[in-house]
Structure 1
Amino acid sequence: MFIQIRKRPVLLLCVALLWSAVCFQAVAAPKREFYQLKIYHLKDQAQEDRLDAFLKNAYLPALHRAGVPKVGVFKPAEAAATNAATAPEKLVYVFIPYASVEQIFKVETEVTKDQSFASAGKDYLEAAHNQPVYQRMEVVLMEAFAGKPLFTAPKLKAPAAERIYELRSYEAATEKLHENKIAMFNNGEMEIFQRLGFNPVFYAQVKAGGKMPNLMYMTSFDSKAERDARWKAFGDDPAWKKMSAAPEYANNFLRADIYLLHPTSYSEI
């Protein structure tokens, strides 16, 4: 009986130490961020100019006041056709990182109550039905991968007009195959990108969007030439060749869409 009484405090101490270790790991591990990607579809330069003015002078400052530290704004890098009738659709991509999904709703509520935002963004917010600032807008909601829970603003050296941000979208045939592709990233593919100097901005699973099941990620480069060289090195990398040939990762994506973008002069990422 005496021995049992003495063992109990020791057992409780061991449990307490184990629980403390678990709690420490939970605290130490960064919480995975959530991202909004807003894609504006525009018909002409007039809409693009109005949208730029809204984003630069009203929306980004309002997001900052509501607690969002950095926002990325990007446009397609491909040169537009000179003939207006055959010119590609104008697009603007706005990448907004949030600490949590709850923060998204909190920030959106605060922005709507921001009087400075209402004043600076009046042309956009009160646009007439026959003079809209955009043709349509898409919103994609994403959660960061466990292997890269926080986004990174790359430290590129080239002028903004020369930088290339590559946004990729990977759709899968089934949810199971989609999860398998995410596991591939978390189990080594992201490490290859990092080692080869791809300057990753984010990797994330799409939680809501027009293409599902889907994941998206963004890498960045000082130039198109550097981007091409990095991808050649990636294709030749022994670790990638081994991983891509592994049977457990076979057929884990159905379609890949690639978008080469330049940051705007007022982009913060």
Structure 2
Amino acid sequence: MVNCSRLSVFVALFLLTISWSAQSAAPKKEFYEIRIYHLKNPDQGSRVEKYLKDAYLPAMHRAGIKNIGVFKPVASDTSAGKLIYVLTPLKSFDQLLVLPKTLEKDAAYLSAGKDYIDAAYNNPPYARFESIVLESFRDMPVHKLPNLSAPKSERVYELRSYEGHTEKIHRNKVKMFNDGGEVPLFDRLGFNAVFYGSVISGSHMPNLMYMTTFSDKASRDAHWKSFFEDDVWLKLKANPEYQNNVSKNTIFFLYPTDYSDI
């Protein structure tokens, strides 16, 4: 007969092993940096793109950071030719902090990116850049690649920013995506979301941002029409718990460069 105390220890260890396995199998939360380059002229745009394509993306890949997105505003946008967006998914916040030192040790990066890295004070490759850091949502803890077959030049990637009146109201909007069911609704309707994130450092806080993707503008419009007519959304937006939780909604229409991973 098995000793009861030994059996209890065995059962406890077994349950603990299952718990550890479940925790290790669960997707971990990601962080994202969105870097936005502001350009004065086409020459700066060409130099930044050469740096991203030949130096930054290859260096990130060598560092084990995959799926870097590089985007430009669509032609009809007044910011076309003036901005370049770079989305970098990160496994942890610490990874963002050590990236500069990682790049400094990469000889291939330093060589390929020399024009950008060693630019003279009177000939910079950009006017300025801004950096937005985000923490992924609970219900989509890791990013996804869009399931699209259309040429990248025809695609429409929609980046949205929802600003909140206060921190508490902002958290209510994040809750609307998670507990309220906006994330699974977007997924069910085929919005091909790349990420959802709450901004932890940026110029328009408190706010959240997310990116959805479409084959073209017509597909984008059709998807949003189905969203606004969906019974789940109609019920959700009428829920008193989630009223007046966005002070400003800004939409950026982008398309991926031919060398973008996303």
Compute the TM-score of the two structures, normalised by the length of structure 2.
0.93
The aligned counterpart of 1:254 is: 247
Distance in 1 between residues matched to 2:104 and 2:183, nearest whole Å? 37
State the AA in 2 paired with 1:52.
E
1:31-46 to structure 2, matched below 5 A, reads 31-46=28-43
Tell me, yes or no, if structure 1 residue 242 matches structure 2 residue 235: yes
State the AA in 1 paired with 2:151.
P
State the AA in 2 paired with 1:168.
R
Tell me, yes or no, if structure 1 residue 119 matches structure 2 residue 111: yes
Secondary structure of the residue aligned to 1:150 is coil
Contact 2:39 2:126 in 1 (8 A): yes
Cα deviation 1:182-218 (Å, max 9, x = unaligned): 1111121011101111000000111111111111100
The aligned counterpart of 1:84 is: none
Distance in 2 between residues matched to 1:88 and 1:268, nearest whole Å? 21
The aligned counterpart of 2:45 is: 48
Contact 1:154 1:201 in 2 (8 A): yes
Tell me by how many angstroms 1:18 deviates. Answer: 4.4
Which of 109, 128, 131 is residue 139 of structure 1 equivalent to?
Answer: 131
State the AA in 2 paired with 1:37.
I
Distance in 1 between residues matched to 2:23 and 2:77, nearest whole Å? 49
Secondary structure of the residue aligned to 2:16 is helix
Count of residue pairs the alignment pairs up: 259
The aligned counterpart of 1:155 is: 147
The aligned counterpart of 2:83 is: 91
Contact 1:74 1:263 in 2 (8 A): yes
Secondary structure of the residue aligned to 1:243 is helix
Distance in 2 between residues matched to 1:119 and 1:155, nearest whole Å? 35
Tell me, yes or no, if structure 1 residue 219 matches structure 2 residue 219: no
State the AA in 2 paired with 1:133.
P
Tell me by how many angstroms 1:8 deviates. Answer: 5.1
Identity %: 48
Tell me, yes or no, if structure 1 residue 63 matches structure 2 residue 56: no
How well do the aligned residues superpose, as a CA RMSD in angstroms?
1.8
Provide structure 1 residue ranges, at least 5 long, that are not aligned to the other structure. Answer: 1-5, 82-86
Distance 1:193 1:252, change over 3 A: same
Cα deviation 1:57-100 (Å, max 9, x = unaligned): 1111111111112210000014367xxxxx76710000001111
Distance in 2 between residues matched to 1:239 and 1:36, nearest whole Å? 31
Contact 2:73 2:80 in 1 (8 A): no
The aligned counterpart of 1:183 is: 175
Contact 1:162 1:222 in 2 (8 A): yes
Cα deviation 1:26-71 (Å, max 9, x = unaligned): 2221111111110001111111111111111111111111111221
Distance in 2 between residues matched to 1:65 and 1:20, nearest whole Å? 34
Secondary structure of the residue aligned to 2:111 is helix
1:19-34 to structure 2, matched below 5 A, reads 19-34=16-31
Distance in 2 between residues matched to 1:220 and 1:112, nearest whole Å? 34
State the AA in 1 paired with 2:34.
L
Distance in 1 between residues matched to 2:111 and 2:31, nearest whole Å? 28
Contact 2:197 2:209 in 1 (8 A): yes
Distance in 2 between residues matched to 1:12 and 1:251, nearest whole Å? 53
Secondary structure of the residue aligned to 2:35 is strand
Secondary structure of the residue aligned to 2:143 is coil
Tell me by how many angstroms 1:176 deviates. Answer: 1.1
Secondary structure of the residue aligned to 1:226 is helix
Contact 2:45 2:81 in 1 (8 A): no
Tell me, yes or no, if structure 1 residue 79 matches structure 2 residue 76: yes
Contact 2:158 2:251 in 1 (8 A): yes
